[in-house]
Each structure stands twice: as structure tokens, then as C-alpha cells.
Chains A and B, each alone.
Chain A
Amino acid sequence: MARVITVTSGKGGVGKTTTTANLGTALARYGARVALIDADIGLRNLDVVMGLENRIVYDLVDVIEGRARVRQALIKDKRLPEMYLMPAAQTRDKDAVNAEDMIALANEMHTDFDYILIDSPAGIESGFRNAIACANEVLIVTTPEVPSVRDADRVVGLVEASEKGPPRLIINRIKPRLVSRGEMLSVDEVVEILAIEPIGVVPEDEVILSSTNRGEAAVFNAQSIAGRAFDDIARRLRGEEVPFMDMSEQPGVLERWFGGLFRRRAKA
């Protein structure tokens, strides 16, 4: 049975698609069978980031409306034979899909994959609701900026209300130097507000830009610090205990969530 993991955010442009592409690629490199579903109907993107745009024949809406079977629509990755992409429809709007459709789709794909990662559209409207309808885990991406954290908080509330279990947090585009100068929210401050478990902190990294343009995930690039951070998150998803990356300027959070808590409990 696949784990169905939806990547969502509230605010747009914070790195959901980047996260989905990199986590999927990292998991597939560890040998998992991975399907990526682009649920951002009308603004499809994941195919471009994966460099698979030119191979699309059918899309998600074709499958849901019965014009294509799941197998026909799934596009095999260029490099990793165990990774597939279900592209979103570019020319339809999000009303073409509903929550039951997504649940049915995930059910049909369950047995063929270990992970199904769903790239959610921004916002809290129907597109977001569809994207989390079939999830059994939710990852919330935020940048360390006040509006982004505020919207993430809203989404955490909605996910909690949907009884999926607590979502986990990815803080993207951290710039340690700005944090240490007090010009950016620190990881600590973000985690304090959202009060959910962080599963990863991803630094700002120019490689993301170049790899996005080449259609090749940053996790392939050993020099990429963001790529390494995404690889760490993938390993944590697999259940490994991976220490958080040392971004020297901000040591507090890991202590609090993974060190301090355990140590104190052990003493009692």
C-alpha cells in the first residue's frame, strides 16, 4: 500500500512544486516506487520542473473523465525507472476534479507504488481540498516570512479539522545570514507559532533555479545544499533518524524538538 503524501502551503510560490519534485526524486533514488500527481489543475508546473513536459499525452482530467486509463497517463521519468508523473490538465479549470475523484484515483494507484506524492495548488479552496482529500500524510511548506507563516497556520487548522493526523512542516528558503542579523524569522520562531513537528529546513540555494530550468531535481547535485536538505527529508520520511543540517546561525530548534524534549522526558 502506498503512502499518500500531499505537499501544500496556503500561500503560493513558497516551494511546493520544488519540494514535491525533489522528495519524489530522492525517494526513487533510494529504490522506492514513486508516483507524483500534479493536482494544480490549470497551472500545471510539476512536469516542467521534472523536465517531462514534452512527453505528456494524457492528463489527470483525462483519467478522471474516462478518456484515458491511469497507466496511459502516467509518464515515466527520464532517469529513474521507478518514478512516474501524473500531469495536471493545463486547459481545464479546477472544477473538473472533485474530492471523490482524487480518492478514487489514489485507490486505483495504491498497490503499484510505495509513495504517491501530491503537489497541491496554493490557497484553501477546492483545489487544496481535493489535494488533501486522499492524503494520509500532509507536509506543509512555508518560507520564514510572516504572511507565509500566517497562511500555513490557516492550512494547519484546516488539515487538523480534516482528521488526517498532524501535518509536518518544511521551512524553505532559509537564509542563515539574514536570520542571524534578525532580519528574517528564525526556524525557532516559525516552529513556535505553528506548533507542528518540523521535518526539514531547506536553505535558499541558487542551484534550485538552475536545476528547475534544466528540468532536473537538485537532489542529483551533490554540491547543492538545498538538494542535500531535501534528501535528508526523504530519509526522514523513510523513517531514518537524520540530524538536522547545521546552519550554524540557528541551533535552537532541533534541541527543542528532538533533543531537549527527549532528554527531559528520559530524566523524569
Chain B
Amino acid sequence: MITIKGAKDGLQVQIDQTADWDAILSALRTQFEHGGSSFFAGARLTLDIGNRRVDEQQLADVLQLMEHYGMRPGSLLTTEGDSRAVARAAGLVTRAASRQNNNTRNEHDAEDGMLLVRTVRSGQVIRYHGNVTLIGDVNPGAEVIAGGSVVVWGRLRGMVHAGALGRAEALICALELRPTQLRIASLIARTPDDGASSVPEVARVQGDHIIVEVWEAYRRTRADT
């Protein structure tokens, strides 16, 4: 019913064009709740309603929901003239964009991937609905928040949240895992104060803990299964 995507300047939420509006609102609420604080809070959100027609009240409801979960409403994508007028009246930027296909994709989006070659610096946030591969460092004070797994080919010293939309199978791998904090799905762990090793490591959820093991050990457990 709804699909969430990482976009260049924030997140994009695509809304089913025919489903009942109340059902959509509750789907959104569930999704925002799932994302916990980090995936959505602070993000700039673009709402794509396709050819739907929304009235003032419907738009106000969704905006209120977004604000409640800490999002900044960015713009509204719609091909529908009345919806555009309503959105403009509410102070949103509107763009006319038609969808490639009428249906929102869903299940496979978590398999989408993004490759970045850069240093993610203090104060910068990378948000993406799928898997993130970063060639470079995540510095202290930086955040990477992904719906899927996060691979850092470099030093991870900032905060990474994998599986931020609820996937507990998500992994976090880094050549040097020395984060201020790790999150997978709804679990949070911080690095023990006795420092970290400088061999590649993998963090994953086991039971209701996040465990970290060196890559070689993780690889052996994989081989067994």
C-alpha cells in the first residue's frame, strides 16, 4: 500500500492510488512506528500520491502524522490538478510526476542497493530504504540509516542503523568496526570502552542482542549452515 524510497534529498513515500485513505494513514503510522526514531525523524519527505485526489482534510491528516514522527514535509508529487492546488494551499511544493507503473512495488525494495564512494562526515546523514555499500569512512558524528544491510569498506566510527524499517536479518560489516553506536531493527548497542580490533567484523542480531564477530568467525558459521 505504501512504498518508501531513499531519494537524493531525503525520503520518498509512494502511496497506493486506489486504497482507502484511512487504511493508508494506518499503514503509514505502522511504518513510521516501525522505523523507530531514526529512519524518519529529521528526514525531508516527498509524498507521491500519483493520480489520487486528496482533499484538505486528508492532506492535513497526513502532514500531521509526518510531523508527529519528526519529518519535514518536503513536496507532493501528483498528476491531479485539484490535489496540487490543495497541497500548494498547505504550503507544499508540488511537482507533476506520473508513475511508471500504477502499482507500488514492495517486497523487493529492501533488496535495492546504493553504492557510495566518499567519507560520511560529522553532521551528515545517509538514509536509504535498501542496502548501502560505502567505500570510505563513517566519521564520528555521522549517521547511516538503511532499511537493509550496511557494508562499510573503511572505518566505521559514527552511528549505523541497519534494518531501520524492521528487518532484524540486516547486517553491518566494516573493515574497522568502532562505532559510537550500532542499531539493527529495534536493538541498540554501543561499543565497549575497551576499544576495538582492526580486523573486519560483522554485526548481526542473535536473539535479542546485537553481536559482533570477526569476519573469519562469521564466515565459518555461514559455511556450517
| Chain A interface helix/strand/loop/mixed | helix
Segment at the B interface, from A18-26, A85-93, A151-159 = A151-159
Which residue of the partner chain A has the closest CB to B120? A157
Is residue B190 contacting chain A, with contact meaning CB distance below 8 A? no
Is residue B74 contacting chain A, with contact meaning CB distance below 8 A? no
| Count of chain B residues near A, Cβ 8 A | 12
Is residue A193 contacting chain B, with contact meaning CB distance below 8 A? yes
C-alpha gap A166/B146 in the complex (Å): 28
Q: Which 5 A-B pairs have the closest CB atoms?
A: A157-B121, A153-B122, A154-B122, A154-B123, A153-B121
Interchain CB contact under 8 A, A151 and B122: yes
By a CB distance below 8 angstroms, the chain A residues around B136 are 195
Segment at the A interface, from B84-92, B109-117, B137-145, B181-189 = B137-145
Interchain CB contact under 8 A, A157 and B137: no
Which residue of the partner chain A has the closest CB to B136? A195
Flag B138-180 by CB within 8 Å of A: 1 or 0 each: 0111000000000000010100000000000000000000000
Is residue B75 contacting chain A, with contact meaning CB distance below 8 A? no
Closest Cβ of chain B to A55, distance in Å, is: 40
What are 30 contact pairs spanning A and B, CB under 8 A? Answer: A124-B123, A146-B140, A150-B122, A150-B140, A150-B141, A151-B122, A153-B121, A153-B122, A153-B123, A153-B139, A153-B140, A153-B141, A154-B121, A154-B122, A154-B123, A154-B141, A156-B121, A157-B121, A157-B122, A157-B123, A157-B124, A158-B123, A160-B121, A192-B155, A193-B139, A193-B140, A193-B157, A195-B119, A195-B136, A195-B137
By a CB distance below 8 angstroms, the chain A residues around B155 are 192
What residues of chain B have their CB less than 8 Å away from a CB belonging to chain A? 119, 121-124, 136-137, 139-141, 155, 157
By a CB distance below 8 angstroms, the chain A residues around B124 are 157
Q: Which of B119, B121, B140, B155 has the most CB of A within 10 A?
A: B121
What residues of chain A have their CB less than 8 Å away from a CB belonging to chain B? 124, 146, 150-151, 153-154, 156-158, 160, 192-193, 195
Closest Cβ of chain A to B179, distance in Å, is: 14
C-alpha gap A39/B86 in the complex (Å): 44
Closest Cβ of chain A to B193, distance in Å, is: 15
Closest Cβ of chain B to A163, distance in Å, is: 14
Closest Cβ of chain B to A109, distance in Å, is: 32
Closest Cβ of chain A to B168, distance in Å, is: 31
What 10 new A-B contacts, CB under 8 Å, besides A146-B140, A150-B122? A151-B122, A153-B121, A153-B139, A153-B140, A154-B141, A157-B121, A157-B122, A160-B121, A192-B155, A195-B136
By a CB distance below 8 angstroms, the chain B residues around A192 are 155
Q: Which of A151, A156, A157 has the most CB of B within 10 A?
A: A157
Closest Cβ of chain A to B127, distance in Å, is: 16
By a CB distance below 8 angstroms, the chain A residues around B119 are 195
Which residue of the partner chain A has the closest CB to B121? A157
